[in-house]
Amino acid sequence: MSSSLFNFFETLLDLFYPRFCFSCQDKIKDRGAVYLCAKCISSVDTIGEHVCPVCGRHGSIDICPSCWEERPPYKMARAAGFYEGILKEGIHRLKYNGHVHFVPTLARFLIHAFKKEKEWRGEIDLVIPVPMDRRRERERGFNQSRLLAKYFSKNLSFPCKGDILRKVKKTLPQVNLTREKRLVNLAGAFYLNPGESLSGKGILLIDDVYTTGATVTECSNTLLRGGARDVNVLTLARGA
């Protein structure tokens, strides 16, 4: 299909099926924005440079006290923005309302955050999403982290394996648990598929929200035991 014909069909789609920003409800003029207008994209509170170099906690220019006390198993964790406002709204609509068409819009924040980290260039061999247990995934109909990881990987030409890491233990909801209780809750919850080898590979672990780090800590431990060279973590939002 020629570019002129493609543009013609896009114009027809915009005319009969206009897209509106999921946050402010304005009509989207920028075709590349998908479901978030340029104004709302620019208003997202992204995380700046002053973060813990290990866990990515905001407001620190050195390793934070938590990482000094107990170094996480992952090499570095970063998030695109804070778990509030537009990012929180988009994540909630994706997870709890089934708005999977928001994935490209949200994943672009992941891509932008990844490109800011020069240390990751040439270090990532494989992208792996944080898994959900099968029952919950069947109930929801999808794993939002897997959808985000697939879009992210496709656009940056990274291999992505969405089923290499599995969650096999049914756990309590993490929302009201302390970090210590979350770690106990998740102990032994993840495993690698038999026969899969991560020997010497640099892994980028992707999730939607980083709260206490308990989930990515347990996942990272599992991946490292499976032979991974190192694990870095990238999340869409950070809640702590």
pLDDT, tens only, 148-189: 999 999 999 999 999 899 887 665 555 555 566 665 566 667
Q: 85 in the Ramachandran plot: left (φ > 0), alpha (ψ -120 to 50) or beta?
A: left
Angle (deg, nearest 10), helices 85-97 and 144-156: 120
- Whether 33 shows a pLDDT value over 80: the answer reads no
- Whether 16 shows a pLDDT value over 80: the answer reads no
Q: Where are the domains of the chain?
A: 1-38, 44-238
Helices and strands (H and E) in the chain: how many: 9, 6
Distance CA 67, CA 135 (A): 34
At 94-143, the pLDDT tens digits run 999 999 989 999 999 999 999 999 899 899 999 999 999 888 889 999 99
With b for 16 or more beta-carbon neighbours within 10 A and e for fewer, the 95-130 pattern comes to beeebeebbbbbbbbbeebbeeeeebeeebebbbbb
pLDDT (0 to 100) of residue 136: 85
At 179-191, the pLDDT tens digits run 666 655 666 678 8
Domain 44-238 falls under CATH 1.10.1740 = no
Retrieve residue 7's tokens: 């543009």
Cβ count near 85 (within 10 Å):
15
Mean pLDDT value across residues 17-42: 81
The pTM is what?
0.86
Paired strand residues for 190: 167
